[in-house]
Amino acid sequence: MAEVRAIAVIGAGNLGRGIAHAAALGGYRTILEDILPASLRRAETQIKSSLEQAIASGHVRKEDAEAALARIEYASSIEDAARQADLVIEAVPDEFESKTEIFTLLDKVCRPQTMLVSNTVSLNIAEIAAVTYRPGKCLAMRFTDPVDEMQRLEIVGGPATDEETVRLCSEVGRRMGKDVVVITG
């Protein structure tokens, strides 16, 4: 039976940063990637600030926040971020060409059992998954910004998505503190 230990997040904008924050608090080794060094630096600063605010408000214990920070790594290439991940979540703008380009690259650099997830809201996950040799390991996880405040997480599989991928991604969502809703596609 597969287990998720490491999560790579592609794109360090608001959504990607929030997903990385939630993944690290959920206990996962988290690798946040962005091709722009300034975006990574900004994300690191914002994650630290967000965790400090969560400590001050009593939502997160100081030791949990420190452990989460220690679990986050930063990468400047998709290859470096995704190579050892069990689950990769892309959080780039909802443009079909960008997402399929990322999924094509991920399909080449990730281990065969790695699950590929898109944060798409408006695009068809089956069409994105079709550019890979692993459509059974692809689905959409629809996080809502701001990730740390919004509790609902929709998981949408395509016709080829296997049950284990849905189960594992649902478990990841729950460990991130989300109310997971599985939507059959």
pLDDT at 150: 85
184 has a pLDDT exceeding 80: no
pLDDT at 145: 84
pLDDT at 148: 83
pLDDT at 134: 97
pLDDT at 41: 96
Could you report the per-residue pLDDT of 4-22, keeping only the tens digit for each? Answer: 999 999 999 999 999 999 9
185 has a pLDDT exceeding 70: no
The whole model's pTM is what? 0.95
Could you report the per-residue pLDDT of 150-165, keeping only the tens digit for each? Answer: 899 999 999 999 999 9
Measured between alpha carbons, how far is 107 from 96 in angstroms, rounded to an integer? Answer: 16
Angle made by CA atoms 98, 104, 106, in degrees to the nearest 5: 100
Sign of the alpha-carbon dihedral angle for 54, 59, 62, 67: negative
Could you report the per-residue pLDDT of 81-140, keeping only the tens digit for each? Answer: 999 999 999 999 999 999 999 999 999 999 999 999 999 999 999 999 999 999 999 999
1 has a pLDDT exceeding 80: no
Count of CB atoms situated within 10 Å of the CB of 113: 11
pLDDT at 2: 77
Burial class from Cβ neighbours inside 10 Å (0-12, 13-18, 19+) for residue 155 reads buried
R_g of the chain, CA atoms, integer Å: 15
pLDDT at 114: 97
For residues 35-51, give the mean pLDDT.
Answer: 95
pLDDT at 38: 95
